[in-house]
Amino acid sequence: MSVIAEVRSSVHRVPLVRPWGPNTTHIHLVVTRVITDDGRAGTGFSWAPNVGGRAAHTLLESDIRDAAIGLPAHPAVAYDRLWWHLHEAGRGGLTTIALAAVDLALWDLRAPAGLVESIGRRRDAVPVYGSGVNRHYGVDELVDQARRWVERGLTAVKIKVGLADLDEDVARVAAVRRVIGPGVRLMLDANQLWDLPRALHAIEAFRPHDPYWIEEPLPADDVQAYARLREGAPGVPIALGENTHTPWQFRDLLTAGACDILQPNVVRVGGVTPFLRIVDLARAFNVPVHPHLLPELSGQLACCLPLPAMVEDVEDASFAALGLLDTAAPPPVRIGDDGLLRPGDGPGLGLRFDVDLLKSTRLDDDGGNS
């Protein structure tokens, strides 16, 4: 088996087309090349919307690179060795976010026929749901966004809730429900903003508008509170997992009965290797997995899941929408007018970044664009 001979990373500050609020106008992208002793190279990435991109890059360029060189170029073997090497610095979070770049690069190498075929295709297409970071939108702007999603042919949409005034939240949800109609699934995301009593009250207030799920209503690691929430608000599914980082943490959510739907983010959990372990856990509990964000990669993974899933497409925030992908290369996924995502047929992860854009967005050692 070939071994890892080199790991090279760069960090980039990429402007968002549609800012997620006054303090979130860009994302950080870390691009990593893993080169083997037989001359092959794979490309992976890590990602953070606001905090952690530069720290992940530093970790990749120091401790991870030093520990990775000489390891077998096998995703699971390398992941286990690297996670153990790093776990004293944090069992999840920054460490797994940084590790994802290496794991994804190794999967890029491991899947010459494409990621879907390498893992095992279970379906040819998956539904997409429109999603927005839109708590700062006025009602008219929010309704216009929902209307755009429906006009695209999407059969499910997600909006943010969690305003200080619950009556205002309910009015916004009602306005979106009116414009999308009863046949479109409507998901609500509170981004951990409530405590247990407020979450119970809010779910009852939203219930007449038929929420398909309520996402992260409580702090993500408050497992016992989530179990109590599900007991106290039956009939409205609870979705959780975008801020959960290790398979053991996901196991604890499942055994506690804390959620109805799991939403692992493939970067935050550390890459495809731990993502697939989480999927196996969820299958044992008959809990569906809906991958969080990153449709170019999540869409491919969703086509391999044992239970049906939807893929999240945050408006104007995919890698393609941000101009990060080389348009001369085959796209990793395609979203049709029927609201379905279909994976491409390129090798590896199918992600080929635009070289010129990477050059123009690269951060130098002082934090500015070089």
Q: Which residues does the annotation mark as catalytic?
A: 160, 292
Task: Please list, in sequence order, all residues whose beta carbon lies within 8 angstroms of the beta carbon of residue 164, skipping any fewer than 6 positions away.
Answer: none
Contact 149, 130 (CB under 8 A): yes
d(CA 207, CA 213): 10
Cβ-contact 111, 348 below 8 angstroms: yes
143, containing H or E segment: helix 139-151
Q: Tokens in use for 365?
A: 């050692």
Read off the amino acid at residue 240: L
Query: What is the gyration radius of the CA atoms in the chain, in angstroms?
Result: 20
Please state at what angle helix 223-232 crosses helix 247-255, rounded to 10 degrees. 30
Q: Give whole-number Cα distances, 91 to 253, 339, 340, in Å.
A: 16, 37, 36
Beta-carbon contacts of residue 235 (< 8 Å; ≥ 6 apart): 207
Under 8 Å CB-to-CB from 349, ≥6 apart: which residues? 43, 44, 104, 107, 108, 111, 115, 297, 300, 332
Secondary structure class of 134 (helix, strand, coil)? coil
Q: What residues contact 210, with CB distance under 8 A and at least 6 apart?
A: 177, 182, 186
> Could you tell me how many residues make up the chain?
370
Residue 208 burial (10 A CB sphere; 0-12, 13-18, 19+):
exposed
Query: CB–CB of 292/312 below 8 Å?
Result: yes
Residues 6+ apart with CB under 8 A from 249: 92, 221
